Structure 1
Amino acid sequence: MDRYVLHHAESYRSVMRQSGWLALAAASLLLGLRGPLAGGPPSAAPTPSDRERFMDDVQRRAVTFFVQCAHPETGLVRDRAGNFAPDTYDVASIAATGYGLAALPIGVRRGWIARDEAEKQAERTLRFVLGMPDKRGWMYHFVDWSTGERRWNCEVSSIDTGLLVIGALTCGQFFRGTGVERLANRLYDRLDWTWMRTNGGAKPDKLLISHGWKPEGGFLPNDWDAYCEHMFLYLLGLGARRDPLPAGSWTAWKRGRFEYDGIQAIAAGPLFWHQMSHAYYDFRGRKDALGFDYHEEAVRATRIHRRFCAANATGRKGYGIHGWGLNACDGPDGYMAYGVPAPEDGTLAPTAALAAIMADADAALTTAMHMRDTYGSRIWGRYGFVNAYNLDRDWFDRDVIGIDLGMALLAIENHRSGLVWKMLAAHPSTRRAMDKAGFVRKG
């Protein structure tokens, strides 16, 4: 994609040399990251212990990305990186930075990052982020990773600011009673929810959150008005201590019904719709004021994805019972939001199948391990899975994308320990949000 053409390769290399980052990154030791990466994929049939080693390897490679691809001074995490060779990408995304903050507790808990170094990194990142350009607390989607300045004429993004904030709050709960927790709450408390909801006061009765704002043209024309990845953003708004969203904002967005092969779900679309919010909020065994169990909806949507790819295996080389993972990702012709029933062209995103571990652990792990074992070094690199591949076009991505690695990392940790769910559940905003949205235990 054109947006990934980098303009500051020399300054990037200069920063690396000055910080000693290249040597540290090569040794996987920055912030106390310990031990070499695990070896190549095993050839034996997977056993329970194989699965544990696989999850460990995937997680450690993802944590390595968030360590190595965070700027040594600002802490901003690059939007993407090369998975097989050095690159010169110098654009960070605030969403990837949020996942980077949430990755630090996982790295500490797994013994790959020293706790004191992770705390320092989190505090350094949050202090820098709080000094970056913003609009009523909302932040630009893409920024220069060394300065924090806006890049690519991008928007002030509500959803990406939300991903930054929720990652910060999660990290803050791991480092409770420290500067990390205080700075994370400051980042959250400064959000002007009324401004983003009412388009700056122009639509005072509107309940839906705008996609964002640009200085050149004002508010973007669309709102978060139908089921997708946005649930976490509404829950953050409902639970805010200052200027919260009204309860009506939760019920204002549309819930549809999609059916495939006799399976009904709230939607199908790309898989990340059913993963992004679920990686932070534990919806299991709960229903909201409208009676929706969003965990069960994700289970059914994942089943639809698997059935769809299995049914279309004769037309797509990569599809099958262990070949699924339609998602917003890189493709042979550029970035595309692939999904069920369309668009699709045979492109699969391995991390999307893996992040489905929260909905169907056996299917997710079996598929991900099959992909790694079948395609090996074409899709498996220093940071784990490449973003996507397409067998019909004989195309294999060379990059990873931060938010997709982050979703898979958090999803696996929730499957293994529930750590991310527990950390966010401990924040007072979660109870306020769940109560306001009418969530109750099913029984």
Structure 2
Amino acid sequence: MIWILPATAQKKKIPRPQLGDSALLTLVQQRTFGYFWKFAHPVSGLAPERTATPEVVTVGGSGFGVMAILVGIERKFITREQGLDRLLKIVNFLYKADHYHGIWPHWMNGATGKTIPFSRRDDGGDVVESAFMWQGLLCVRQYFTGDTPKEQELRNKIGWMWGETEWNWYTQGGQDVLYWHWSPNSGWAMNHQIRGWNECLIAYVLAASSSNYPISAKAYHNGWAVSNYFATDREYYGIKLPLGFPYGGPLFFAHYSFLGLDPRGLKDQYADYWEQNKNHTLINRQYCIENPKKFKGYGADCWGLTASDNHEFYNAHSPTNDLGVITPTAALSSFPYTPEYSMQALKYFYNQVGDRLWGEYGFYDAFNETVNWFDYQYLAIDQGPIVVMIENYRSGLLWRLFMSNPEIKAGLRKLGFTSPAI
């Protein structure tokens, strides 16, 4: 599926009141939350992949969205009852939607729950997208602890689906590695082993934490942790980077798995994950300050390279794949790691380029000042981390909820992690 992005699009001007730091954070969270609340599919309650495709809902982005709904309740953007009703709608829909050994596809039709192929052979289960959803649903289960019939129903249905998710099926016959896809039509034809370092750590944590269909610790150590881009232990700008690609890769690596998984004090034999994510962010920012390609706008106030729309189509932007595109979610979802620098970027996005970047659901997906391009769309997978990670910076809400799951504590210990939360 291809989206053609016009160079310009009509945008409705949205007022931007001048606010103090705390009020500005709340405003950004509230506007961005609106994508998952106001723009959600009316039948399923799930989040559309992007504003241009309202019928195509995304499982991973919706997983971030269910976490954003919890933020909305805590910040009083909606009532607890409103949030509960929406989450029940989502869970009831997911319960009946297409799934493959308990794993959902990447995309679904928002009205029917039928799979929309992501590519010709990617028309079945997607372990990583499903992991992003499960990260959110397990937070929901821990949040709604009341004895009312609705809260009990929500918890029970999440528990039933969790128990039926066959993570070990996706080891393709018991291999020591997870496979990203399986299709009833193409089987294992995608043949995409999930090895690190990237956004997929959460898939291994969840798969190891399953009570009924777990993977072994060997899959983590012999699959995930075996890669040319895993324990590289390099240094850039005098900043140590324990894991990953040169200069760290796109910044979403530091976000997607850590919306629920608390990196504070999280360590295993390979890395200190707080150090990894903070230093990845600092390297990404310093690259933008150095600005070797001399793109317009880059600097201490305007930084953040990650996967997003761009003036050509879509790309995973990073210091080694720099097209002049700044993506607000990169700096804003890094608030826990670099609060002062993220606030600098937030104020630049809001005050300096906000006339073209600020819309109904907060900041548009990306912009490139060098070619005078500003996106007109929102993407669920970029919107969600903004709401959630700002909240984790402010209160630790989602980290606390996710890490309180007894299965997650056991799964992390099984893989050799230590953390103050387990």
Shorter-chain TM-score above 0.5: yes
The Cα of 1:400 is off from its aligned counterpart by 0.9
CA distance in 2, matches of 1:74, 1:232: 25
Distance in 2, matches of 1:232 and 1:96, equals 14
Which residue number in structure 1 is paired with residue 368 of structure 2? 390
Residue number in structure 1 paired with 2:277: 298
Does the C-alpha gap of structure 1 residues 41 and 344 become closer, same or farther in structure 2, counting only changes over 3 Å? farther
Q: Which residue of 2 aligns with 1:256?
A: 231
Relative to structure 1, is the Cα distance of residues 395 and 101 closer, same or farther in structure 2, using a 3 angstrom cutoff? same
Rounded Cα–Cα distance in structure 1 between residues aligned with 2:266 and 2:196? 20
Superposed displacement of residue 440, structure 1: 2.2
Q: For 1:86-114, what per-residue CA distance to the aligned partner results, in whole angstroms no more than 9, with x for missing partners? A: x6632110112212211221111111111
Q: Specify the alignment match of 1:174 in structure 2.
A: 143
Secondary structure of 1:259 counterpart = strand
Question: What does 1:344-363 correspond to in 2, within 5 Å?
Answer: 344-363=322-341
Q: Is the 2:231–2:270 contact (alpha carbons within 8 Å) kept by the matching residues of 1?
A: no
CA distance in 2, matches of 1:142, 1:248: 30
Distance 1:296 1:118, change over 3 A: same
Question: Quick one: which amino acid aligns to residue 231 of structure 2?
Answer: G
- RMSD value over aligned CA atoms? 2.1
- Partners in 2 of 1:191 and 1:107 — Cα distance? 28
Could you tell me whether the CA contact under 8 Å between 1:3 and 1:152 is conserved in 2?
no
CA displacement 1:231-279 (0-9 Å, x = unmatched): 1111111111111111122223232324322222112000000111122
Match of 1:418 among 393, 396, 403: 396
SS of equivalent residue, structure 2 residue 257:
coil
C-alpha contact 2:106 2:118 (8 A) present in aligned 1: no
Cα distance between partner residues in 2 of 1:229 and 1:246: 20
Q: Distance in 2 between matches of 1:363 and 1:338?
A: 19
Equivalent residue in structure 1 for 2:36, among 66, 70, 95: 66
Q: Which residue of 2 aligns with 1:2?
A: 2
- Per chain length, whose mean CA-contact separation is higher, i.e. which structure has more relative contact order (CA < 8 Å, sep 6+)? 2
**Amino acid corresponding to residue 318 of structure 1 in structure 2:** G
Q: Deviations over 1:12-51 (max 9, x none)?
A: xxxxxxxxxxxxxxxxxxxxxxxxxx94052xxxxxx711
In the TM superposition, residue 122 of structure 1 has moved relative to its aligned partner by 0.7
Q: CA deviation at 1:441?
A: 4.6
**Cα shift readout 1:98-133 (whole Å, capped 9, x = no counterpart):** 122112211111111111121111111101111011
Q: What letter corresponds to residue 416 of structure 1 in structure 2? A: R
Q: 1:118 to 1:189 in 2, by over 3 A?
A: same
Is 2:305 aligned against 1:326?
yes
Q: Which residue number in structure 1 is paired with residue 54 of structure 2?
A: 89
Gaps of 5+ in 2: 6-13, 147-151
Letter of the 1:149 partner, please give it.
K
Cα deviation per residue 1:378-434 (whole Å; 9 max; x = unaligned)? 111111111110111111000111111111111010111111011112211221122
> Could you list the runs of 5+ residues in structure 1 that have no partner in the other structure?
6-37, 43-48, 82-86
For 1:68 and 1:352, locate their aligned partners in 2 and report how far apart those are by CA, in whole Å: 23
The Cα of 1:314 is off from its aligned counterpart by 6.1
What is residue 317 of structure 1 aligned with on the other side?
A: 296
Q: Is the contact between residue 247 and residue 436 of structure 1 (CA under 8 Å) also seen in structure 2?
A: yes
Give distance in 1, aligned partners of 2:89 and 2:251: 33
CA change 1:4–1:346 in 2 (3 A) is: closer
Q: Which moved more, 1:413-422 or 1:255-264?
A: 255-264
1:185-200 equivalence runs, <5 A: 185-197=159-171, 199=172
| Structure 1 residue identity aligned to 2:406 | P
Shift in Å, 1:335 = 0.9
Contact conserved, 1:165 with 1:184, CA < 8 A, in 2? no
Relative distance call for 1:441 and 1:192 in structure 2 (3 A) is: closer
Mean Cα deviation higher: 132-141 or 96-105: 96-105
1:147 counterpart = 2:78: no
Identical aligned residues as a percent: 28
Alignment partners' CA distance in 1, 2:306 and 2:336:
16
Residue 382 (structure 2) pairs with residue 404 (structure 1): yes
Partner AA of 2:129 in structure 1: D
Give the deviation of 1:70 after TM superposition. 1.6
Q: In structure 2, how many angstroms separate the alpha carbons of the residues matched to 1:424 and 1:4?
A: 38
Structure 1 stretches of at least 4 aligned residues deviating more than 4 Å after TM superposition: none
**How far apart in 2 are the matches of 1:439 and 1:150?**
35
Residue aligning to 2:10 = none
8 A contact 2:167–2:215 mirrored in 1: yes
Contact residue 78 and residue 93 of structure 1 kept, 8 A: yes
Is this contact kept in 2: 1:104–1:171, CA < 8 A? no
Give the Cα–Cα distance (whole angstroms) in 1 for the partners of residues 87 and 411 of structure 2.
25
Q: Deviations over 1:166-185 (max 9, x none)?
A: 11111121112522221222
Selected match of 1:235 from 193, 205, 223: 205
Q: Answer whether contact 2:97 2:113 (CA < 8 A) is retained.
A: yes
Distance 1:401 1:65 in 2: 9
The CA deviation at 1:152 is: 3.9
Mark the CA change 1:323 to 1:218 in structure 2 (over 3 Å): closer, same or farther.
same
Give the match for residue 428 of structure 1: 406
SS of equivalent residue, structure 1 residue 387: coil
Letter in 2 for 1:176: T
Counterparts of 1:391 and 1:41 in 2: how far apart (Å)? 23
**Does the 8 A contact of 2:43 with 2:110 survive in 1?**
no
Whether the aligned pair in 1 keeps the contact of 2:252 and 2:306 (CA below 8 Å) is yes
Post-superposition offset of 1:226: 1.5
Q: 1:153 to 1:406 in 2, by over 3 A?
A: closer
Distance 1:104 1:256, change over 3 A: same
Q: Distance in 2 between matches of 1:357 and 1:76?
A: 26
2:168–2:207 contact (8 Å) kept in structure 1? no
